A = this chain, B = another copy of it.
Amino acid sequence: MLSNEIKEKLISIVTKENFADSKTERLVYSYDATPNFQSMPDAVVSPRNTAEVSEILKLCNQYKFPIVPRGSGTNLCAGTCPTEGGVVLLFKHMNKILEIDEENLTITVQPGVVTLDMIHAIEEKGLFYPPDPSSMKISTIGGNINENSGGLRGLKYGVTRDYVIGLKAVLPNGDIIATGGKLAKDVAGYDLTRLFVGSEGTLVVITEATLKLIPMPETRKTMLALYQDLGAAAQSVSKIIASKIIPTTLEFLDQPTLKVVEDFAQIGLPTNVQAVLLIEQDGPPEVVERDMEKIAEVCKQENAVSIQVAATEEEADALRTARRAALSAIARLKPTTILEDATVPRSEIANMVKAINEITEKYQLTICTFGHAGDGNLHPTCATDARDHEEMERVEKAFAEIFEKAIELGGTITGEHGVGAMKAPYLEWKLKAEGIAAMKAIKQAFDPNNIMNPGKVFAKDSKKRVVITR
């Protein structure tokens, strides 16, 4: 609980209407999109500008209470769950597009802008911002930056980090700093811009961002390749890229995913095949045409049983929407949905899918696997019930084995969802004690009082490694 003194001081910064601490309002911000994590904040505040954020942080730092910056809470790593209480910081007033600069190809935004709204504004100018996380209809750009969000176009175009070129950020001591700028190149000191991207609100509060834009690709084509063999689908992914084509999108959906998505979206997806690749290419028409032909050839060589090219943009959009709906569709199966994002080198996709299937079998679970195959970034997603403690124990063991396998294959515990509170206990598996120590030193340097989204990234205890026995 915040003392009356702190409460009064917070109100004096943001005004009464931007402060809330009723039980109902606190409850709303006690959880995010991550199942099984809930914790009540002490208050919710909505600053109107960077100066107010600075004042709030000074106060938090003085009284050593936690601050949890939050966009729309769509993250899947319990990154915005106020696990240690404190103040949730909302950006509902700081939600403006400040400028689209068509000469320098940049956009400058406040953190509260909804990603898709921003993308629409950009596309109206004939420009392109590639990162398109599946939650983009609801997510905010501030959330995307803090989590370094990926999306379906990451294979060709990279992730959020690759587009952030300048930030305004508030340090825990209230200092306001500006990093980068409308600059294609800047090596003036350490790369704080990229350090802050993906730092999950544990170092600074970002209050403004300048993003790089690129010209809108002229055209786009979408293809579905169907397989009766998982290995063949995975092999196609490697072969396409080894043949020196980088498609915009190279998504994988296994049969269990196809079934639930079709059941949900009813768009005529094939459910009698083992796996589907959703492949897109964009660019100049001649190039797209040629690439799609080559891709189709590779898929055929790798024993795709059918290859369908979307005839219209509507048809293509339905396929993309179906892919984006995978999480919602699986969520209908059972009360609890746990979506993971273990990531491996692209060449190991076949081995990873095989391992996920074996682990699913071993623990007798319902796991649908889909994801960004071109990035080696899979989303094994478990439909379960948090109230069934016995099953939840099996779920946890299964995911621990999945993480371990990913690391064994040269991969990582999270490709695009972040560590948050959920994966913090596993971080040491990837980074070793020395890597964690290096990161903790940075955290300590910025935030000695540990007020910035505490309990995220760094765990009190690391999970013991399981021993994989097969």
Q: How far is the CA of A457 from the CA of B412 in the complex (A)?
A: 32
**Interface window among A3-11, A42-50, A439-447:** A439-447
Q: Please tell me if the beta carbons of A103 and B287 are within 8 angstroms of each other in the complex.
A: no
Identical chains bound together, number: 2
Q: Which residue of B lies closest to A166 (CB)?
A: B410
Which B residues are CB-close (under 8 A) to A104? 345-347
Q: Please tell me if the beta carbons of B439 and A183 are within 8 angstroms of each other in the complex.
A: no
Interface residues of A (CB under 8 A from B): 101-105, 126-127, 147-148, 150, 154-155, 159, 161-162, 171, 175-179, 181-192, 194-195, 197-199, 203, 214-216, 238, 241-242, 244-246, 283-284, 286-287, 290, 343-347, 372, 374-377, 410-419, 423, 427, 430-432, 434-439, 441-442, 444-446, 457
Q: Please tell me if the beta carbons of B155 and A187 are within 8 angstroms of each other in the complex.
A: no
Contacts A194-B195, A287-B286; A187 near B414 (Cβ below 8 A): yes
Which B residues are CB-close (under 8 A) to A439? 189-190, 192
Q: Please tell me if the beta carbons of B147 and A187 are within 8 angstroms of each other in the complex.
A: yes
Contacts A191-B194, A199-B190; A185 near B343 (Cβ below 8 A): yes
Contacts A105-B241, A188-B412, A286-B287; A181 near B345 (Cβ below 8 A): yes
Contacts A184-B346, A241-B103, A413-B188; A171 near B434 (Cβ below 8 A): yes
Q: Please tell me if the beta carbons of A419 and B376 are within 8 angstroms of each other in the complex.
A: no
Q: How far is the CA of A216 from the CA of B147 in the complex (A)?
A: 32
Q: How far is the CA of A101 from the CA of B437 in the complex (A)?
A: 31
* 4 more A-B residue pairs beyond the given contacts A189-B457, A191-B194, A216-B244, with a C-beta to C-beta distance below 8 A: A103-B347, A176-B434, A183-B345, A183-B411
